[in-house]
Amino acid sequence: MNNNAGPCWKTLLTVSWRGFFIALLLITVTGGAVMFKNNSNEKSETKQWVKSELTPAEAAVILNKGTEIPFTGEYNDNYKAGIYVCRQCGAPLYRSDDKFKTGCGWPGFDDELPGAVTRTPDADGRRVEISCSHCGGHLGHVFDGERLTPKNQRHCVNSISMKFIPATDSAHFGRAVFAGGCFWGVEYHLDRVPGVIFTTVGYIGGSTEYPTYEQVCSQRTGHAEAVEVIFDPEKVTYEQLAKLFFEIHDPTQKDRQGPDIGNQYRSAVFYYNDEQKKTVERLIKQLMSKGYNIETELIQASRFWPAEEYHRDYYRRKGTLPYCHTYKKRF
């Protein structure tokens, strides 16, 4: 890889009595025990999502496609670090990094987690509905062409359709970011780990907002090519992922990885909490005691910027193996 929409829907939440009873009937029939699987990355071991029992207000939006009253949702002004998941089935939907202020009264995101959201034409013939890809629960609508962010899209989502999991809450989902040269190869190896739910290639550690690949390659943004990992802590631990990271690239190289040279290819771990920081510090000490001169930087995570679509799942789509990332046991 060494190469050089119009305003939000202002209709208030209106639910007919018929729809209300249909929602209650659906809740009774499902009994809160229907299982869903995430197959977006065609992983051999998939995450099972369990449908939760919904309140009448939640069912009105999620099942009957209603809309909550603007400026009343609990997440409209929430900008804490974390992950937004589907309220009905718990599947991850959005990063807090992709949330931005819209002023329209509903939470807005300019990107979603890979494969998390399904788009379908709305019954009104004008808008595009978005729903959870895992359970089909209604989220809201997506608008393109408003130029509110460089990504030029706005996911207008009902707060009641989501739950927010803080980045500090590692009991539900873990979030890790690793940089070790070309992000294609790093993603290839991390994505194959049982318990990893999503991986996303992107940029982190610099000062430029909405960086492009060309800008990062100029070495003037300060960003590193990196991979964000969302994982199930019941199936894989952060320490296991960090160990693998140190074994799929050469952590003794500075500002390069194999034939890829530049500060965007540096080795770095971006931590979200003290536990992650201490884990990596301990692993680095272990490696140094074995004679490795570790150049890996340990940096508190800043905003993670997803890379362009054509970089995502590169080796899986191409059907080839990484040319500069091979496994070497070091622990």
The first and second tokens of residue 270, run together, are: 């971006």
What was the pLDDT predicted at 47? 55
Asked if 197 and 173 count as a contact pair (C-beta separation under 8 A), the reply is yes
Residue 42 has pLDDT above 50, yes or no: no
Rounded to whole angstroms, the Cα distance separating 189 from 178 reads 12
pLDDT digits (tens, 9 = 90+) for 132-179: 999 999 999 999 999 999 999 999 999 999 999 998 887 888 999 999
In the chain, ranges of CATH 3.30.1060.10 domains:
174-318
Q: Which of these, 65, 71, 68, 60, lies nearest to 103 by C-alpha position?
A: 71
What was the pLDDT predicted at 272? 93
Kindly state the average pLDDT of the residues 67-88: 95
CA 218 to chain centre: 26
In the chain, ranges of CATH 2.170.150.20 domains:
17-166
Give the DSSP letter string of 70-114.
TT-STTTT---SEEEEETTT--EEEEGGGEE--SSSS-EES---T
Amino acid letter for position 273? N
Residue 24 has pLDDT above 60, yes or no: no
Catalytic amino acids? 156, 182
Report the DSSP pairing between strands 108-109 and 99-100: antiparallel
Q: Average pLDDT of the chain?
A: 86
The first and second tokens of residue 314, run together, are: 């590169």
Higher pLDDT, 103 or 8: 103
What was the pLDDT predicted at 48? 61
pLDDT band at 187 (very low <50, low <70, confident <90, very high): very high
Asked if 241 and 233 count as a contact pair (C-beta separation under 8 A), the reply is no
Residue 311 has pLDDT above 60, yes or no: yes
Domain 17-166 falls under CATH 2.40.30.10: no
Residue 261 has pLDDT above 70, yes or no: yes
Please give the CATH number for the structural domain made up of 174-318.
Answer: 3.30.1060.10
Kindly state the average pLDDT of the residues 63-83: 95
How many CB atoms are closer than 10 A to CB 87? 24
